[in-house]
Structure 1
Amino acid sequence: MIKRFLRSMGYACTGIKLGIMEERNMRIDIVAMLFVWFHMQFFALTRTDKAVVILVTFLVPAFELMNTAVERAVHKPDEEHWMPAGDAKDTAAGAVLIMTIGAVVIAFVLMGDISGIKNVISFYSEKLSNLLLLLGYICASYAFITLDNYRKKDK
């Protein structure tokens, strides 16, 4: 039983790895998630608020993985099924879009107060090292997001 569980966890980790390595939007989701998590400290959020932010930031990449699964499952079907396959792909992408919009709205509702925004601005303007940290994060994020797809080159 434990062996089967560990095997299924291995499959799940492989799926996450494939999503990160092959899907640019998944990498964007991860960069945004880490950015939001770091900046939560500057806002007066309750534990519940933090839990909601963490939950929705996990849901966006989870939806992205589901979208990727649908896209791969219905990739290049025969002539008879091409239209339903396209509809399935579009619908899955729509689910990701709705979840992303919801996550952004929740972030603005919970982290849109002026005092928190001032705290963020103060953090980056008070010390050069903090600003350099932000610039380094932006550069590293760009490199991570634009990472070449390692499998598509082989195809």
Structure 2
Amino acid sequence: MKNKNLFDSFNNAIKGIIYAIKSERNMKIHVAVSILVLFMSLFLDLTKLEFIVICFSIGMVVTAEIFNTAIEEIVDLITTGYHPKIRIIKDVAAGGVLVASFISLIIGYFIFFDRVSTGLETGVERIRQYPMHIAIIASVITIIMVLVIKSFSPKYTPLKGGMPSGHAAIASSITTAIALWSSNINLTILCLILLFLVIQSRIEAKIHNFIEVFVGTIIGFIVTLFLFSIFYKP
């Protein structure tokens, strides 16, 4: 079915990614490893080029696994019995994922090997010096948690409605980060007003109920507070 607008395109694309994660064990592994690698890379003082290469490698593996899942779904749709050609198609698709994973493993080895033992302490100090990094990490983790929780709902849409409210979660995360970073009561109050307006607009538009925005707000607050309490040293 054709998407009505750009919003629906993004929404359905995210639903496709979540379906692949929920239905494929290997996809769960790839995503878990990808999150771990991205988290580690923030501690290891990588250059911009190295970080871009890491992101490209992760994207390559995840994309290959998504295409592999799509091919398997198509094959299962058009046939119900066993056929040698079907087995070959699935094996070739899986082989593409294996090649992408192997290349990414080599790239990761050369980038991370010399830094794991020597760069960890330097990386932690860099993060402490740049609170913006902590705020970005907190926002990303908050988004991931919201999408994961939403994926368990039988009638979910990643970008609209459902438990919990993603808008409230992100707004809460940003508000908490600014409050902890700035230690400025006036700025914090302004951010709280904006957070309240976000929550009020989601409820008034009947996109979320109070419980959904409340849970989203708590998620954003706890994730951000936890990361700042560990890494931020004013």
Task: State TM-score, norm by structure 1.
Answer: 0.68
Which of 79, 86, 89 is 1:77 aligned to?
79
Residues 26, 121 of structure 1: alpha-carbon distance in 2 compared, 3 angstrom cutoff: farther
**Matching residue of 2:61:** 60
Q: What residue ranges of structure 2 are gaps of 5+ in the alignment?
A: 124-147, 149-153, 155-234
**Matching residue of 2:190:** none
Over residues 67-91 of structure 1, what are the superposed CA-to-partner deviations in whole Å (9 max), with x where a residue is unaligned? 0111111127266x82221111100
**Matching residue of 2:19:** 18
Equivalent residues of 2:27, 2:65 under 8 A apart: yes
**Matching residue of 1:40:** 41
The percent identity for this pair of structures is 27
**Matching residue of 1:95:** 96
Residue 37 of structure 1 deviates from its aligned partner by 0.9
Residue 5 of structure 1 deviates from its aligned partner by 2.2
Hey, what's the Cα distance between the residues in 2 that align with 1:82 and 1:44?
51
The answer to which structure has the higher helix fraction is: 1
Over residues 44-80 of structure 1, what are the superposed CA-to-partner deviations in whole Å (9 max), with x where a residue is unaligned? 421011001011112211111110111111127266x
**Matching residue of 1:116:** 116
Structure ID, larger Rg: 2
**Matching residue of 1:49:** 50
Over residues 131-155 of structure 1, what are the superposed CA-to-partner deviations in whole Å (9 max), with x where a residue is unaligned? xxxxxxxxxxxxx9xxxxx9xxxxx
**SS of residue matched to 1:117:** coil
Hey, what's the Cα distance between the residues in 1 that align with 2:30 and 2:118?
25
For the aligned residue pairs, the C-alpha RMSD in angstroms reads 2.9
Q: Which has the higher contact order (CA 8 A, sep 6+)?
A: 1
Hey, what's the Cα distance between the residues in 1 that align with 2:5 and 2:32?
32
**SS of residue matched to 1:43:** coil
Residues 27, 121 of structure 1: alpha-carbon distance in 2 compared, 3 angstrom cutoff: farther
Structure 1 stretches (4+) deviating beyond 6 angstroms? none
Residue 99 of structure 1 deviates from its aligned partner by 0.2
* AA matched with 2:116: G
Task: State TM-score, norm by structure 2.
Answer: 0.47
* AA matched with 1:39: M
Number of residues paired by the alignment? 124
Hey, what's the Cα distance between the residues in 1 that align with 2:69 and 2:80?
20
Residue 97 of structure 1 deviates from its aligned partner by 0.3
Residue 34 of structure 1 deviates from its aligned partner by 1.1
Residue 108 of structure 1 deviates from its aligned partner by 0.7
Equivalent residues of 1:42, 1:116 under 8 A apart: no
